[in-house]
Chains A and B, each alone.
Chain A
Amino acid sequence: MPPVPLPGRRRAETVEKLRRLLPRLERVSAGTSVLPFGLPALDAHLPQGGLVRGALHEIAPRASADTPAAFGLLAALLTLPALTSDRPVLLVGDIADHGRVYGHGLRGFGLDPSRLILVETKNDKQALWAMEEALRSRVPVAVAGTIDKLDLKTSQRLHLAAGDAGLPLLLLRPAKTAHASAAATRWRVGSAEAARDRFGLIARWRWKVSLERCRNGRPGEWLVEFDHGAHRFSLAAPLADPALSRGRYAPLVKRAG
């Protein structure tokens, strides 16, 4: 269809209309349910004020050895109050090469293992099927999984399935992940020295979390702490450890404080 020339006033109206339409097409709108981190610095950075619920989110470690940290962020997200209900959480696939999910550890982390359904799959095909099936049933409150290979088409499919179900799908990806994907966000997680109390015991887990890709948003980088007792995220306080206010995290930390 050839473009129709519009008079000035009509043109402004049309642009306004299109502006309203665009987020709908992109499956983001004011009414979209989000999963806030509960961390103003992060939530304000994300275009919807938190993780979009009905969407695919990827979490990848910086290096393969950081996989536990990446899994930690995933587990921490699952313990957020917004996802706490009597509905189960599905974990599809196992964390290859870095041990098996340990219930007592999850319990200590604030995630009740009796809510966690473990689905073991033999290959990615089965894992994808299981995730889609779980999303379609709308039974779990969230679906988490590990996938080795994920092409653009498959990720679009998963993203749509998550969108239709209105459930978050959190994927733990291998460190090498760099492919294009339809995921709403991709997080890179690196290990960081934990926050300790005055007795030298670990008080809060701490990770270098960077937002690598974000639909309609900007990348960013934070030093995030997670208090497993309170199920709460926070930013590393600059005063708690002077070493942190130096170096690359200093400006971000200050802005948050």
Chain B
Amino acid sequence: MRVHLHTSLRRPGPAGPLRQLEAELPASSTLADLLWLLELSPSPPGLLLVVNGRSADLSQALAEGDEVHLMPALSGG
């Protein structure tokens, strides 16, 4: 699955900030497992989770090919 790391979640990469990465998780893994894999806080209060264009919670099961967005929340523009 492809994981999009928004704003402050970007990571140092060889060619500049890394804002997307491919992740592989065992079958029946959840968003909580993905956060653990990425060494992120297990219940971040200001983090919005979106899978395939829809808001999701930590218990959401993930599948191969999913597009996951991890987005520190903003309240407007």
Do these two chains interact? no
Q: Which residues of B contact A (CB under 8 A)?
A: none
Q: Which residues of A contact B (CB under 8 A)?
A: none
